Each structure stands twice: as C-alpha cells, then as structure tokens.
Structure 1
C-alpha cells in the first residue's frame, strides 16, 4: 500500500471513479446547485517546499531524512483543512528533518540534540491528527520525530493478560502480533489502520467500545515516557490510590510533555459470541430516551450508536428519525439475553427492530470506514465536509443539540449557502452521550478552508456555551486550543505549565499544543 501524501489513508483505497460518480450523484440530490468540478492533487515534487535549515549531528544522520515528499507528508495531519491546503498546493510550515529512531536510546539522543540546540520537535505516530497536532505552526526549524520503527509487541504476560508494546506500532500490526496468542487490545478508532498506539495514548483516543472502556486510558496499565528531564516509567498495577496518577499526566499530553516509547496495555480474549440488532424510531427524542435507558441499564453494550435521520439515510439508506445500532460481545458466554433486554428497553420507547443480525449496522460500519475517503473526494469538488464532536450530560443534551444544530445551520446558510448537518452518538455513558456532528456544505474552490474555519468557530462557541466539551476524543492540538484554554480551570492550567517547565525546560516539545 502507498500512503497518500495529501489525503487520508492509502492511495489504493481511495474512491474509484465509479464510487466518486455515485457519491456525487447522491450529494447533488440534496445540493443540486453546487459545482462538482474535480480538482486533482498536485505532485509533491512540484511544490515549492523550502530547503531544510537543519543539519543533524553526524551520529544521528542515519536516522534523518530531508526528502521533499517525506517532509510534506509529515507537515500536516488529515483534517479537512489539511487536505484542502494540500490539494491547493499551499506549502506553509514544513518540518526540516524527519527523524526515525530505531531504539529508545535514539529518542533520548534526538531529544538531547533538540533541547541543546533549542530545536522544536514534534512526536509523530501515524499522522492522522485532525486538530493540527503534528503541524509545525511556527517559524523555527523543526524536527518531526516519527516513531514508526518502534513497532513491536515486546513482551506478553498471559497470566495478567497484558502486553508491553512499543508506541510506534500501527493498529493492524499490533493486532496481528496479538492474534497468535488469542488476545486483542480491542481498540478500533476510525483511524485504526493509519494510527499508532503511541498516538492513541498521547491523544486519549476513543475506540471500539461504546460503554465502559471507551478511551485508551481504560486499557492502559503503565507508561514509559522519554522527556528532556529524564525517563518516566510508572509501576505496573491494576489500580492504585498512591497520589495523582503519573500515567494520567502523560495520557492526552499530545507530545508536549514527553515522548511515549512503550506501554503495558490490558488485553482481552478474542470475542467468541456476538449479538447485533438495529432499531428504528419515528421520533428522535424517543430514540434519545431509549439510548439513555440502555446506557443506564448496566448492560454495557459494545456498540450503542444512535444515528439521526440524516446520518441514517446518507450512510445506510434507512429512513427513520432515529436508528440505534446495538451490539454485545463476549469471550466467555453467549450474549443474546443482554441484547434481548436492550431491545425491550428500546421497545418501551417506541423502537422497532429493523434487523436482528445487524444488517443496517454492517452497512453503516462499511460506510464509516469509507467516510474519510468520501470526504477527500468531496473536498476535491469544493465541498465543505468535516466533523466535530463533544460530550455532555443527558440533562443538557436537548439544549446543546438545539444550540449546536441551530448555530451550524445558520453558519452554513450565511457562509456556504446550503448544506446538511448530521448527528450520531459515538459513545454513551450513564450520565451522558458523546454526540458527533457532520457537516456537508457547498463551498467555493479556493475558499473552503476559510469557510470551514468560520463554521468551526460558530459551532465551537455553541458547544462551550451549552455545557459541552470542546473535544471528546479528537484531542486539542492547535485547532482546539482557543476553546480548551477557556474550558480548563485556571489552577490546572498553571499546574500544567509548571509540569511543562519541569519536564521540557527548553520548551522544544510540540510548541503550541495544549499550552501557549
């Protein structure tokens, strides 16, 4: 497979001409006035990337690359605004060197060089950030520290059902190494194929399970982190009350406090039993109440994803005001009884089972995995297609949902002219859901990044004003920083800044992420 330098995933997995034509036909049905002219991506070799301004020490030169395509592919993540700027051939900040350590000692040596010389260094996993987390958005020369060569499951403790795993391993390679042992991490973000364990840890990624172990935090037993001030390694424990957790300091730190090199992760037996169903509702409010009842029931489904009418129709073809996708799984016992009880709760709120084996869910899952490729195809055709996500308590959801959709639709009308807003729950908790919104709006070629930035600002303001979090699982990066600064308590901001000063005295680790 060949990783796309400008867009999502692998070039071989991009939409075919036939798939693109079908996508344009579906989209033009609700946006008939839009100009769907295709704009092909430029070759990275034809772009005016500036020459590298850095020369590594001789001892580190074997780890470093200054190839133009390499530097351009590490310059940005995979958000809509990243993809469009690449399509437009806009070369802005580009890392000067791509460093690929082969051992933890290499990481230490690279950080020592960067700290001594005052060179910013950006830890890089799979590069799938959608919030500006890997972009050198500053004028100084920078090193992109690609951990992709640290990609092994080093040790497995079968008794405790845990494994010591290097941070640079991508999702499929991780599961392939665990499969012969009958074990799985069972953490599948949408970026699974193109993201790494270290990236999941550094961004507190959300994964496979809609309840209970929703974030990578819940699967982490201990971390080993290299910082300019030294190596931090937490003790392997199932739980501890010994003061604030050192792991919690680095989980979600986005490479600004240290470089996660390996972690002991909690594994599971591979599931043997599964039960799935989809349930349709004629009223969205009833679907929300049913989802809340299931989230608070103690049944803990592995999937409990609620799609609104637009999301359901666009991605499964089902016409319903709400479509709830349910799944249960276990390595120990059949789970049909749990699904039966969940369906009873859904029926109490007017739900009708549309597929017991989850055909609608399977259709949505296939569409879910193809969504980033579809976004890229529409971005090439001047569409504004992007997502934003949050979480709130159940009592706040109705008002937040109304405020967010109103703000989004008003901004679309003013900035783009026409568009659609969709919503789905990615995860649910006893005390609240994690709504994930999508925008499909008409754009003007050459202006779609600016249009999205305006839309993003309007929606983010509505989220913060109505009790939501600026991000549930996409992390902060540079794009969410203005709202994150306002969300976090001031005393905590001061403590985080002090931790940054202590661990990274030269201030070289991922400047601008989390902190000014």
Structure 2
C-alpha cells in the first residue's frame, strides 16, 4: 500500500461527495430558463470501472526490476485502477474521454518515491531505458498536462509525489518554509498552522493539488492580492534532472543572470521533477474576514476593483462576478427562511425602487486580514470606494458562506456532465486598459460559437487577482450537447473553447493566467509569446531533455517538438 489517496477516477474530488441541486429551489428553474435542461430528468452516470477496457501495461522487465530495486515492491504499481487514475487530469476533455472509456495510452507503471534519492533513481532509470516520465501531484490539472503522449514503443512511467508531503523546516527569521513538492494544500496548511504560520495560497483546486503542481503550472490563489502568486511565493527549489539536481537557494533577490527559478516555474515537468521548495510563509493573521458587496452593474464593479487596486487598502481577496455569474450564484443558494429571507427580500426590493436592474447586479467578495487597526482601515477605504461606485455592503454572512463553499464548485461540472451539459473554464489576464474590451468581445465570441453550433449555451465571468497594471478575468461556459458520441461532444466543445481562447489573444490577453499551457492551450502559444519566444523555450527544453523523456507533448505546440 502506498498510503497516497487520489480523486475519483472518473471525476472531481472524493467518493461520496457530489453536487445536489434539490435543496436549492431556484436552480432548476434558472437552468431550464437559461439553457433548457430539466435537472430532474434522469441523467447518465459515469460508467462502472469494470466496464472500462484498460490496455495492459507494456513495462520491460529490466526497467521494472530497476524501479522495484530503487523503491521497493509496494511502491511500484501496475494495477489498472492506479494507471487509469494517472492517465488524465480533470479538464473537461479529460472527463469526456474517461467517461467514454477512451484510453489510447495509459501509463505502464505508477511509482511512489519517498525520498529525493528515490526520485533520482527513477529519473535515471527512465532516461537510461529511453522511457517517458510524467510527474503527478494531485491530478487536478485541467489543461492536458498529464495526458500520456501517443507513444507506441516507449514505456510510460507516472511518478506520483504523494509520499513527499511534509513541511521539513521553517526559517522563522526569514519567513520561509521548506516543503516537499507532493504536499496537498490542506496537509501543507495544517502542518504550517500547527507552527503558527500560513502560506496563504488557495487556488480553487486547493484540496486536491500540490505545491509541486502549483509551481509547475504557475498557479494563483484567491488570496494572491495579499500573498502573491506562486511565482512570488516560491523562492528556492530542488529539481531532479538525469544524473544531477538543480539547487536554488531561497534568496530574496539575485542578479545571477537569466533566472533558472523562473525557468522552472510553469515548466510542467519538462525541466525535471520538483522535489521540494522554499516558500514565503506568514504568521497567522489576527483577523480574517470576507465581506460581500453588490454593485449595480459590471462597469461600476470593475471600476471599483481598479480603484481598490491603486488605493492604500491591502485586501487579501478582490473578486467580483458579472451579472450572469451573480445570477447563477444566487440560483445555487439554499432557501432563505425567517429573518434572513426578510432582510434579503427587503434589500432587493429597496434596490429595485432605487432603479437597479437586478439582472445586471454584480456580487463581489473582498477579503481582509491582519491586526484590528489594519483591517478597520482597509474596510473603511474599500467601503468608501464601493459607495462611490454605487455599490452596497451585504456583510459577513454571504462572505462567510463563500469562504466555506469556494472549493466545492468543481463538483457542479460532474453533475452537469451527467445531464448532457459540457462546462469548462478559460482564464486570462490583461492590462486594465484592455479589460472591458476583452470581456465584451469574449462574451460575444462565445455566443456566436453557440449560435454557429445551433446549441444553447451560457457564459459568465468574474474578475479576480488584481495587479498594479491589470487583472485576471475567469470565464465559465456551458453548452448543451444532445449527442452521446464522444467525438461530437468534443467537436462542439472545441468550437466554443477556441472562440474564447482566440478572443483572448486577439484583444490583449494571455492564453492562461494560472491553469498553465498543457496540450489544450499550446495551439495559441506562439500568438501569446511570439514565434521567437517559443524558439527560446524549445531551445531550453531540447538542451535539458534532448531525448524527450520528460513529459513530452506538454507546454509547446506539437509541431515544435523535436
């Protein structure tokens, strides 16, 4: 037994947890009105694992013997379930394929090293055998970074870092922690909290993603306004390459030529296996609050977020949903009762009398952390900005609910798949000066894609991760597919996904803000960083891994593989 737990082989999260709409009285009418799906109609559940045809492993005995010698018999696994779990991430394309039993190539073996020395032994054995190595953290990737390449002859090894899950030390003077790369978000924070510290990095995948995965994809968390993105948080690293280890000390700044640290960030396993990292940590805040606000429309809400970003306030979270996402969020709330219902009805009635169109109202969450004086000052500054832009304060209640439920949203996607709706996300970042252009033209591009397919669809968006010069826009879209055929479902999906991604690069955005490139976004990489920029990346990857043994197929366009 490896002692490592995984997500469902067919969907998000853990067995026994699923989305349920029946205690949310407004959701079924909302979904019927917007995309014409009856939530009460019987759906198509995921298949039984016994009905999946899993290709037999193609593991040469000499490589298998080397792996068993290095790790021990229990940590070299060839069971069908383990291999399937490590075949895909959790993107929409992954989930459609796994539900269809589409397994053209499955890792031949899954290995679970418990030390950096064992990682080195695995990497060396794989390269010596001219096999393929795919590092695996929590399996939450949604951009195709985990999908095995269509290798017909070379064996494929999935290297699961789940046993490397400890906080090794904390440098209290420097505010740094040395953490093994396989630590999942909850385990990492639990160990830090016991010592009075926090890393503060909380992506939506927090419960099912690892430090190494965050670094490999340049992750951002919802509290990045205060704590920074993972690129800001990560200061030092150890990275295993064939026959050697990159050692980057946790320096506050350096002028040692082109940054190797920056090269590893976002490298998606192509520049080696990250085994541990030094990261910024902070003392647990004295106070932590999430306050909800409501704005009359998207324009005023975005202007308020921009004003907050250049103000003296230092919130931990600045997030606002557009009208479509606000309407969806409200539809997923449980029924209000008693005084709570009276207050909510009274507020909405009051706003309507003031001339608000509640279909355009935008829900916002702002987080505050720190000492009492700091939090009080930040709330006063933000409150003034909210009022100046026509917004109203809803208070701690909705904010606390958001804080409790923020990691559960991905479960909705599995539920929608059961009933024939394909739902996914695309996120981007752009300067403030281009934000509204990217927003409106992307919404239009998605709607034109729905129309071209003759299907009903829905697209919504929220702003998050504010920076000095711009912000992240995070789009969620869904379309109704009446086809049960995998190829047709994916064809329809890609019509919409491509329209959204192309809109990003056409109007000043990047192809991905924090989900990485993988295979799903590689098509647009040259448009994002220029053909010469991809030349530099290819030269770097080829110089480090001339045999294409380290996660080939991810990150760069297929035609640029050597």
Q: Which structure 1 segments of 5+ residues have no match?
A: none
Is 2:350 the counterpart of 1:338? Answer: no
Superimposed CA distance per residue, residues 439-490 of structure 1 (whole angstroms, 9 cap, x where no aligned partner):
1221123233221111111111111111100000000001100101321133
**Distance of 2:464 and 2:312 partners within structure 1:** 18
C-alpha contact 1:383 1:448 (8 A) present in aligned 2: no
Q: TM-score, normalising length from structure 2?
A: 0.87
Q: 1:496 is matched with which residue: 529, 534, 537? A: 537
Does residue 1:192 correspond to 2:232, yes or no? no
Bigger mean CA offset, 12-21 vs 498-507: 12-21
Q: In the alignment, does 2:388 pair up with 1:348?
A: yes
Instruction: Confirm whether residue 30 of structure 1 aligns to residue 34 of structure 2.
Output: yes
Alpha-carbon distance, 1:505 to partner: 2.7
Structure-to-structure mapping, 1:54-203, within 5 angstroms: 54-55=59-60, 56-61=63-68, 62=73, 63-140=75-152, 141-203=155-217
Q: CA deviation at 1:230?
A: 1.8
2:228 matched to which residue of 1?
Answer: 214
Contact 2:226-2:317 at 8 Å conserved across structures: no
Indicate conservation of the 8 Å contact 1:478/1:514, yes or no. yes
State whether structure 2 residue 528 is matched by structure 1 residue 487. Answer: yes
1:227 aligns with 2:241: yes
* In 2: Cα distance, 1:339 partner to 1:463 partner: 33
Aligned partners of 2:111, 2:28: CA distance in 1, in Å? 40
Q: Secondary structure at the match of 1:13?
A: coil
Give the drift of 1:327: 1.5
| DSSP 3-state at the match of 1:497 | helix
The CA deviation at 1:334 is 4.1
1:102-501 aligned within 5 A? 102-140=114-152, 141-228=155-242, 230-317=244-331, 319=358, 320-330=360-370, 333-353=373-393, 355-357=394-396, 359-444=397-482, 445-446=484-485, 447-501=488-542
The runs of at least 4 aligned residues of structure 1 exceeding 6 Å deviation read none
Q: Does 1:3 align with 2:4?
A: no
For 1:314 and 1:332, locate their aligned partners in 2 and report how far apart those are by CA, in whole Å: 34
Contact 1:205–1:215, Cα closer than 8 Å, also in 2: yes
Q: CA deviation at 1:261?
A: 0.3
Judged with a 3 Å threshold, the aligned counterparts in structure 2 of structure 1 residues 52 and 194 are, in CA distance, closer, same or farther, namely same
Go from structure 1 to structure 2 and tell me whether the alpha carbon gap of 1:416 and 1:211 turns closer, same or farther (over 3 Å shift).
farther
Cα displacement (A) at 1:369: 2.2
Per-residue displacement from partner, 1:395-421 (whole Å, max 9, x unpaired)?
Answer: 111211111000001111222521221
CA 1:333–1:244 in 2, change beyond 3 Å: closer, same or farther?
farther
SS of the equivalent of 1:84 reads helix
TM-score, normalised relative to structure 1:
0.95
Task: Give the drift of 1:115.
Answer: 1.0
The answer on whether the counterparts of 1:304 and 1:427 sit within 8 Å (CA) in structure 2 is yes
Shift of 1:275: 4.0
How far apart, CA to CA, are the structure 2 residues paired with 1:2 and 1:365? 24
**Change in 2 beyond 3 A, CA 1:40/1:336:** same
Tell me how far apart the structure 1 counterparts of residues 179 and 125 of structure 2 sit (CA, whole Å).
Answer: 26
- Secondary structure, in 3 states, of the residue corresponding to 2:441? helix
